Amino acid sequence: MARAATTSDAFNAIAEPQRRDILALLRAGERPVTDLARELGMSQPGASKHLRVLREVGLVRVRGAGKQRLYGLDARGLRPVHEWLGGFERFWNESFDRLDTYVQDLKQARQED
């Protein structure tokens, strides 16, 4: 079976570690591609290709500022990922709640001994 294109959705786009690194840097605000490339130790064309993929799936927006193009995070594109992870968050919260109850029961039993 053929692998889905990385531009098909946010899940495929963020599967690439360097794209996740770009998103993490953009949380602090808009940046030109040259800054992102330098920060991540990659070529400007490589960073541009990653930004194109992120832009196509709606995770990054771009605007012109003079001669520069500034890239910024568009977190709305992460909504499907957030919603999918929500089920796992509930699982872990319930697991931690059960663990906390168990620990509290152990402490109570030790105090009674």
pLDDT tens figures, 67-98:
999 999 998 999 999 899 888 888 888 888 89
Residues with pLDDT less than 70, the chain: 1-7
pTM of the predicted structure, to 2 decimals: 0.74
How far is residue 61's CA from residue 96's CA, in Å, rounded to a whole number?
37
Q: Which residues contact 11 (CB under 8 A, 6 or more apart)?
A: 80, 81, 84
Confidence (pLDDT) at 72: 96
Confidence (pLDDT) at 6: 53
